[in-house]
Structure 1
Amino acid sequence: MSDLLERTVKDANTMNNVKKKGSSVERVLQIVEVLAKSAKPMGVIDLAETLDIPVPSMYRLLNQLQPLQFVQLDLHGKVTCGKRTHDLALDLWKNSPFKAERLAILQQLSAKIGESVGIAVLQDLEVVYIDRVISDWPVQIQLPTGTNIPIWACASGKLLLTQLADNKCERIVEKLSLQALTTHTQTDKKQLMTSIAEVRKTQIGTDNEEFIPGMVACAVPIPNGEQPAFATVFTHSPTVRKSLDELLSYVPVMQEAANELSVILNQEYNE
């Protein structure tokens, strides 16, 4: 009888340990989830109160997550999602069950424009192509999915900068080290801010041979409900086929595609 009781106590202790471990895992996932949904970095105490986690426990969990790059601290000690969390989000996007629908819309758009098109998002100080449909032309500009482009030198980058608050956008541009990638790259910060201000009005990003010589591009935002856009629809072309003005004439069909993609994105995040 005593052996049975001893085994029962051991089993109960084991279950409690499993429960505690499961609780820790759940808390970690909740931290990442709350940070991913937050429009701005969160203070440790605010994060602890939001999740009803004791502050010392929150510090312990964050200290475990930070070296793994799931979270990071900004200059003010506030918490945001880390590089690994961003990479995870991009991987989920790339392997989403809705990818076929996104590509179908992009394929139709590419056929209308006659040029390569795609979807781009902001990652740190670069723009990343996450979906792309290549045109049928024998002469192509090789920018495959996963390509990283400096935000100051591309249409989508300047457009996504306009989705940030004015003061935040200015702080980022002020800290950028603007390198000339072509003779047309904007390396003067005042000139770049003037361009961004114009893009903020029109919500159309442009690249006039600023990233690659002989290539022009434009981009429109994918609507995100009441929130700022986090992705764009872009197209680019060699100047031997289309000028920037010719590309811009396709903005209305690009905006139609962006609206269709917005519906799919809402399905992805709500289902």
Structure 2
Amino acid sequence: MDRTPEKDGEHVPTGVRSLYILEALARAGTPLTPTDINETLGLPKPTIHRLCKRLEHEGFLEKDLDGRRYLPGKRLRTVARDVLGFNRFLQARQAVLRRLSERVGETCNITLPEEGGMVYLERIETRWPLRVQLPVGSLVPFHCTASGKLYLSSLPPARRENLVRTLDLTAHAPNTITDPEELLTALEAVAQTEIGTDKEEFVEGMVAVAVPILDDSERLVATLAMHGPTQRMSLDDALALIDPLREAASELCGLMPADDADRGHGSAA
């Protein structure tokens, strides 16, 4: 953080100190211990411990698997998602989605990682009468969706494995991967191609592909996906449309509030 009034001898209200903690965590992009936060902000250690516990109690922070580090809680991620949908780039993102949907002829969406799965941030439906309808705000699993598998593949290997082993690998369709080892192997392949796929793993009769939307630091902040019924397209057909998806994802990188000009974005767990 460039500057905190605390360091300049100014009084900082408790509420603002809490915001500094949340901002430091969002900028770090990785779970932090209270000591890490202290090194960043220079606030008194007892104050940081007290505020972190309060923020955890209110749902803005939660503990990582090791029980020592904090990461954004469900409430903070919800705020980040709401701000993301409210910002001035909303119409521009929807225009990109609309052009992409018209070009590929299928439903396209943007999803964000959330606790327990991927949440639909924005969506443009195909005009075909036969389609799978999942409205904005829908939460879909990590392990059997193109976007979810792409997100999991973007995590550091150790964190990826830890998360996979905590997931409920429920079978949703004939091809759902329910074995952790098999899923981890599949995710290694996804990490190499940076393309998430779903071949009737989430919904029987549906295929999907997803590509990453990156921030300025090349971190995955969201995913761009398209899906369609197997009556109209195979997975190979969907993969043949990857270039238009990647082009649209590149446009969307500049429309996501991940820089200083749009500080409403927080890292998702």
Query: What is the aligned partner in structure 1 of residue 29 from structure 2?
Result: 39
Shift of 1:131: 0.6
- Return the index of the structure with the highest Cα Rg: 1
Q: Please list, as runs of the form range in 1=range in 2, the aligned pairs for 1:154-165 lying within 5 A after superposition.
A: 154-165=145-156
Task: Call closer, same or farther: CA 1:49–1:163 in 2, change over 3 Å.
Answer: same
Separation in 2 of the partners of 1:185 and 1:267? 33
Q: Which moved more, 1:190-199 or 1:231-240?
A: 190-199
C-alpha distance in 2, partners of 1:93/1:153?
25
Secondary structure at 1:153 match in 2 = coil
| 1: CA distance, partners of 2:218 / 2:248 | 19
Are residues 1:209 and 2:192 paired?
no
Amino acid corresponding to residue 143 of structure 2 in structure 1: W
Which residue in 1 is equivalent to 2:63? 73
1:64 match: 54
| Paired letter, 2:161 | E
Partner residue in 2 for 1:226: 217
Give the Å deviation of 1:269: 5.0
Q: Name the CA distance, whole Å, in 1 between partners of 2:260 and 2:57.
A: 28
The AA in structure 2 aligned to 1:264 is: L
Q: For residue 11 of structure 1, what is the aligned residue in structure 2?
A: none
Give a deviation string over 1:148-177, Cα, whole Å, max 9, x none.
Answer: 111001001111111111111111112222
Identical residues among aligned pairs (%) = 36
Q: Is the 8 A contact 1:164 1:228 kept in 2?
A: no
- CA drift of 1:124 comes to 2.0
TM-score (norm 1): 0.88
TM-score (norm 2): 0.89
The structural deviation recorded for 1:268 is: 6.4
| Aligned residue number for residue 188 of structure 1 | 179
Q: Describe the superposition over 1:200-257 as per-residue Cα deviations: whole angstroms up to 9, x where unpaired.
A: 1111110000001101000011132333212111000011111111111110010000
Count of residue pairs the alignment pairs up: 252
Query: How big is each residue's C-alpha offset from its partner over 1:70-106, in whole Å with a ceiling of 9 and x where there is no partner?
Result: 1122233212221111000000011111110000000
Question: Greater shift after overlay, 68-77 or 254-263?
Answer: 68-77
2:52 and 2:179 mapped to 1: Cα distance? 39
Which residue matches 1:14? Answer: none
Query: For 1:44 and 1:268, how far apart are their aligned partners in 2?
Result: 25
Q: Which blocks of at least 5 consecutive residues in structure 1 are unaligned? A: 1-18
What is the Cα deviation at residue 267 of structure 1? 7.3
Which residue type is aligned with residue 63 of structure 1?
K
Aligned match of 2:119? 128
Q: 1:19-168 alignment to 2 at 5 Å?
A: 23-74=13-64, 75-168=66-159
Selected match of 2:242 from 251, 256, 264? 251
Q: What residue number does 2:160 align with?
A: 169
Q: Is the 8 A contact 2:216 2:259 kept in 1?
A: no
Displacement of 1:266 after TM fit? 5.4
Q: Is the 8 A contact 2:164 2:180 kept in 1?
A: yes
Distance in 1, Cα, partners of 2:140 & 2:258: 28
Task: Determine helix, strand or coil for the equivalent of 2:244.
Answer: helix
Shift of 1:26: 1.4
User: Which range moves more in the overlay, 175-184 or 80-89?
Assistant: 175-184
Quick one: distance in 1 between partners of 2:29 and 2:258? Answer: 20
> 1:46 & 1:70 partners in 2: Cα distance?
18
The match for 1:240 among 231, 241, 247 is 231
Give the conservation status (yes or no) of the 8 Å contact 2:61–2:70.
yes
Rounded Cα–Cα distance in structure 1 between residues aligned with 2:257 and 2:227: 26
Structure 2 stretches of 5 or more lacking a match? Answer: 1-9, 263-269
SS of aligned partner of 1:210: coil
Residues 267 and 180 of structure 1: is their aligned pair in 2 closer, same or farther, counting only changes over 3 Å? closer
Bigger helix share: 1
